């Protein structure tokens, strides 16, 4: 609720039967419920993003689209926002990490290491396998969830999500 307005009731009048679904949240943003309650959907963060990876998501709330590129953690979205929907930027930006899906070319024995090449953090490592192409793995402790690997994957088999065991923020 924000200022006594029930967002789900407002949505009902607009033909929406459920609350907006969380996409990939902006770095340093508060929990999704707090974000929805405080965000004005003005679009200032979208315009401020130099990488142009922020889009209007469900309900018009900003979300990150890693298919457009990576997050450089520049804090421009935080600086542009007038609403109280961000945590201090001295904290970790988020708990997102990369996940490699079953459609990875290595599972089809096709040699590709573009994700590893695009990962500045060196969080994606390929393990050699006798008689087979190397297979990728994510070193979660090194992954900052920037999404560089998502846009670079030729078959779209990398996604960004909460690290294993992380509860929704």
Question: Binding site for [4Fe-4S] cluster: residue ranges?
Answer: 39, 42, 45, 49, 71, 74, 77, 81, 143, 146, 149, 153
Which residues sit opposite 97 in a β-bridge? 161
Calpha distance 152→139 (Å, rounded): 18
- CA neighbor of 24 nearest in space, from 70, 64, 51: 64
Binding residues: 39, 42, 45, 49, 71, 74, 77, 81, 143, 146, 149, 153
Residues 145 and 151: their CA atoms lie apart, in Å, by 12
Taking a C-beta distance cutoff of 8 angstroms, is the pair 56, 43 a contact?
yes
Helix (H) or strand (E) holding 97: strand 96-100
Among residues 8, 2, 5, the alpha carbon closest in space to that of 37 is found at: 2
Burial of 125 (0-12, 13-18, 19+ CB in 10 A): middle
């Amino acid at each position: 609720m924000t200022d006594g307005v029930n967002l789900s009731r407002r949505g009902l009048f607009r033909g929406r039967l459920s609350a907006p679904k969380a996409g990939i949240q902006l770095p340093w943003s508060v929990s999704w419920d707090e974000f929805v309650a405080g965000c004005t959907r003005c679009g200032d963060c979208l315009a401020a993003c130099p990488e142009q990876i922020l889009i209007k998501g469900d309900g018009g709330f900003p979300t990150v689209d890693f298919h457009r590129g990576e997050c450089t953690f520049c804090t421009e979205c935080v600086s542009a926002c007038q609403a109280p929907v961000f945590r201090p930027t001295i904290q970790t930006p988020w708990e997102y990490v990369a996940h490699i899906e079953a459609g990875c070319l290595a599972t089809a024995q096709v040699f590709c290491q573009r994700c590893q090449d695009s990962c500045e953090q060196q969080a994606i490592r390929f393990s050699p396998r006798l008689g087979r192409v190397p297979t990728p793995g994510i070193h979660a402790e090194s992954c900052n969830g920037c999404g560089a690997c998502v846009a670079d994957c030729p078959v779209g088999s990398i996604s960004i999500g909460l690290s294993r065991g992380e509860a929704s923020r």
